[in-house]
Structure 1
Amino acid sequence: MKFAKVLQQTLVEEDIPEEWVEAAIKYKSLKKCITKVVRELKFLGLEQNTLKFLLEDPNSEDGTKKIIEVDQHETLPNNPIIAEYTLTKSNDKSKPILPYLKITLNYDDDEYTDDHIHEVGLQLKHKIEMLLNNDDFADDDHEEPNTEQQVIEIKEEGDKLILSPQTTHSIPSRLGSPEPFELNNSKSLDKTITETKEPVPKQSKTNEIVIMLNSDTKFFQMLNKELESLDDLKSKEESNLISQVDSISHSVKSLSSPNVSLKKTDLYKWRELFKIYLDSEVYFKYNQTNSSASERNAEQIKKNLQEFVNRVTKSGITDQFKKKKSLAVFNQFISMNYHLLKVLQFQSINTEAFRKILKKFDKQTSLNVKNRFPKLINDDHVFFSGASLAQSICYIMQTSVLTLIPQLDDYTCPICTSVAFKPIKLSCGHVFCVRCLVKLKQQDKSNCPICRHENAVVKADSTNLDLKSMALMKTYFPLEVKEKLKERDKERYDEVVGKEKCIIM
């Protein structure tokens, strides 16, 4: 299936809002612009194969084609004529991207090794020489200059294309001047370029002509405008999602408050829900939200999100909420995730459209813009080049929602695997419950059991007690702490009395 149909089908099947569809890349319209660019190049005698010879060096030492870099101050092309396609952008964002095609003729050497390049080059050289020697461009004050640079612009006149020696575009001159080229005579030159005459005598060693195409300017202006619309949409949706996350955060904090009776709080239910969510790794691998390399694609996110919903449904947690509002907030949380997914799907399909339309432009024109255009506009648009929307939203969600309720895994003693109540932080940074460290000392084990830091266990004393973590455990893990204390008391009893039953005679 052609990509234009895939794009349209995706926008329909994923139920993309109409406002988003209006902001999407207009792939079909851009394709029509490319067709017009090809028509204008053919009008100049610059068919695709011709441009390949003129834009690339077929005689490189390693046998591969390379773009010929033409120095603006001293042009010494290897072919009889060379083309250089340039994209320029002003620091003023309100001004459009300006593309232009510079044709450089070299009169110094007519000896060429490749017959086909020789033929192509001389034919095009002949056409442009006729153009440059036309009376419309003649300047009585210039007799046999060493170099000459002129600008022409292709314009549409009805269904016909004409060449006009007048343009109001500001483009950099051969010597880097920012002043615009303006030629006063606007007489049509379309007949001149298509006529066949005998080659004219050489006027100068090097001649340059800058050709302003018409449709390529429209193509880049249209594409740039669509990127601006996508930037605005991304910013708007990001603000919307952040607002939803803040709302959910406020609600969850109230519904899971540890400062009320366990019979009136949904603390444990929300903790269980968030643990399932983290284990599902919907958008990223756990604790890797700062790495774009670990970000899931839209299809994987959709699959993971559905698996999360299925696991929650199967667990029956939502049926055990003590407060009715908890179910409403959970549904809001799910809705927010699906909305983020839709934004990511929209971003993904437009990123693909952007890549493919530039690839198509190059395929049909050989003007090599698929890498240069993105670099040129990289700092102006956040839709593609900015931070991943999934990264920014997931980071906010993780810091303001998921961390509201601490997970038991983060406060578990690695030895007994229960809550590390009365946590002792060793000099190496590892944390254990005091009971397990006492046992290690009784066994004459002095090094950290995790990293083997020397004498870390022996040196630990009352100053190593992590009071802040202990207070948090009492607040957020009351049942686990109660069970821990019960186990501790039982161990102490067994140590003192022994495991044999006491018999009263």
Structure 2
Amino acid sequence: MKFAKVLEQTLIEEDIPEEWIEAAIQYKSLKKCINKVVSELQFLGLEQNTLKLIIDDKAKQQVVEMDNNEYTPNNPVVAEYTLTKSNFGQSDHIIPMLKISIDYNNADISDDHINEVWLRLKSKIETLIGNEDSIIESVSNRIYELNEDKSLVLSPRGSRREGSPIPDDYLEQIAGETLDNSSKRSEMLIMLKSDSQFFQMLNGELENLDKLKQDEESKLIEEVKAISESMQQLANPAKGPLRKSDLYKWRELFKIYLDSEVYFKYNETSVSASERDGEQVKRNLNEFISRVEKTSLTDQFKNKKSMVAFNQFLNMNFHLLKVLQFQSINSTAFRKILKKFDKQTSLGVKYKFPKLISSDHIFITGSSIAQSICYVIQSSILTLVPQLDDYTCPICTSVAFKPIKLDCGHIFCVRCLVKLKQQKKVDCPICRRDHAIAYADSSNLDLESMALMKQYFPIEVKEKLKERDKERYGELVGDNKCIIT
């Protein structure tokens, strides 16, 4: 299926809002622009195969970046397509130019095919201009614009098309930096009409996508803040007795959410490698909902407001998913339309254009919206309900109540630390820090973590104290038993 159709179907099937669709990359319109560019190049005698011959560097398989020393007798006609950016008025303008160098003094051309291209192109340009000498008179007389009536006219001091946003002095500056005044070869810059429209249209659509991304990111952050405010009431143990709190239900829900790795794979070292694509996010989000339904956790809520907050949490995630899907399909459209431009014109803009506008557009070059929103979710919502795994003693695997924080940063419950000292262990069993256990004393008691555990893990702390008392009783009594005779 053609990508234009895939793009259209995706926007419909994913229920993308109408205002988003209007801001999307207009793939079909851009394709029409490309067809016009091809037509203009053909009119100049620069068909696709011709441009491949005079632009492609067969040794390096890349677009030639010409300097004055690269012009050789075996390559009498060389074309270079350049993109520059300058700000006129309130927006950026992309200025594409086709530089053509012709060696008129070259009498010994060994390649018949290049010779044929050279003669045909030379004849075509001279016919369009009507005066061969004018192309070497001065810098300002070597910029030509292709008008709507397909006439090649001098610019900027000639009969330029009206309404052009590019000042004359700027064009002269480009010419002065680009063209060579050597008498041994003639150079000119040709400004097509449709390629300017193509890049200006594409650049404008990227600006719309930038604004959309910023707006939706702001909306998502507001949604997260609203959920966070609700959670501060619903999952705060200080707001009421535990028997009326949904603290433990929310903890289990968020644990399932974290285990589902909806947006990122947590064991990857690279953020870009760990980030899920839109389809994977959708599957993970549906898997999270399925696991929640199997546990019936939401049916066990004691506070009706908890169900409202959970639905808000789901809606926020689906909102983020929709933004990610929209960003993904537009990024693909951006990449494919540049690839199509190169395929039909051989002008080599697939890397050149993104590099030119890389600092201007957050939609295609900025960090993923998933990164920023997931950070806000983590810091504003998930941290409101601490997970037991973060406060577990690595030795006894129960809550590390009366936590002893070693100099290396690892935490153990006081009971396990005492046992390690009794066993003459001196180094940290996790990182092997020298004498981390030996140097630990009452000053290593983490009072802040201890208070948090008592507040957020009351059931686990109570069970831990029971286990400690039972173990201590066993140590005191030992194997002695009462014997009735």
TM-score, reference length from structure 1: 0.88
Against the structure 1 CA distance between its residues 444 and 138, is the aligned structure 2 distance closer, same or farther, given a 3 Å change threshold?
closer
Instruction: Give the 3 Å change call, closer, same or farther, for CA 261–145 of structure 1 in structure 2.
Output: closer
Which residue in the other structure is 1:405 paired with?
385
CA distance in 2, matches of 1:502, 1:449: 40
Q: AA paired with 1:83?
A: A
Q: C-alpha offsets along residues 225-246 of structure 1, whole Å, 9 cap, x if unaligned?
A: 1111111110010000000000
Q: How far did residue 434 of structure 1 move?
A: 0.5
Mapping of 1:105-504 within 5 angstroms? 105-132=102-129, 134-135=130-131, 149-157=141-149, 161-165=150-154, 166-167=159-160, 169=166, 170-171=170-171, 172-176=173-177, 204-259=183-238, 260-286=240-266, 291-503=271-483
What is residue 182 of structure 1 aligned with on the other side? none
Deviations 1:411-461 (A, max 9, x none): 000000000001111222211101011111222222222122232222211
* Residue 90, structure 1, aligned to residue 101, structure 2: no
Which residue pairs with 2:8 in the alignment? Answer: 8
Secondary structure at the aligned position of 1:103 is classed as strand
Query: How far did 1:492 drift?
Result: 0.8
After superposition, the Cα gap between the structure-2 partners of 1:494 and 1:320, relative to the gap in structure 1 and judged at 3 Å, is same
Query: CA–CA distance in 1 between the matches of 2:318 and 2:454?
Result: 35
Shift of 1:264: 1.7
- Which letter does structure 1 place at the counterpart of 2:77? I
Secondary structure, in 3 states, of the residue corresponding to 2:119?
helix
1:68 matched to which residue of 2? Answer: 64
Partners of 2:429 and 2:456 lie apart in 1 by 27
Report the Cα distance in structure 1 between the residues aligned to 2:153 and 2:328, rounded to whole angstroms. Answer: 42
Which deviates further from its counterpart, 116-125 or 363-372? 116-125
Query: 3-state SS of the aligned residue for 1:331?
Result: helix
What is the percentage of aligned positions where both structures have the same residue?
64
CA distance in 2, matches of 1:221, 1:103: 23
TM-score (norm: length of structure 2): 0.91
CA distance in 1, matches of 2:40, 2:50: 14
List alignment gaps of at least 5 residues for structure 1.
179-202
Task: Identify if the C-alpha distance between structure 1 residues 317 and 66 changes in structure 2 by more than 3 Å, giving closer, same or farther.
Answer: closer
Deviation at 1:67, TM superposition (A): 3.1
Q: Contact 1:81/1:125 (CA < 8 Å) preserved in 2?
A: no
Residue segments in structure 2 that go unaligned for 5+ positions in a row = none
1:258-295 per-residue CA deviation (whole Å, 9 max, x = no partner) reads: 11210121111111110100000000023769812210
Judging changes above 3 Å, is the alpha-carbon distance between structure 1 residues 322 and 504 closer, same or farther for their aligned structure 2 residues?
farther
**Matched residue type, 1:7:** L
Summarize the Cα distance change of 1:97–1:312 in structure 2 as closer, same or farther, 3 Å threshold: same
The farther-off stretch of 266-275 and 280-289 is: 280-289
- Give distance in 1, aligned partners of 2:139 and 2:303: 84
Aligned-pair distance for 1:208? 1.8
From the superposition, tell whether residues 80 and 156 of structure 1 become closer, same or farther in structure 2 (CA, over 3 Å): same
Aligned length: 468
Residues 154 and 163, structure 1, Cα contact 8 Å, conserved in 2: yes
Query: Greater helix share, 1 or 2?
Result: 2
Change (3 A) 1:346 1:66: closer
Bigger drift between 387-396 and 118-127 goes to 118-127
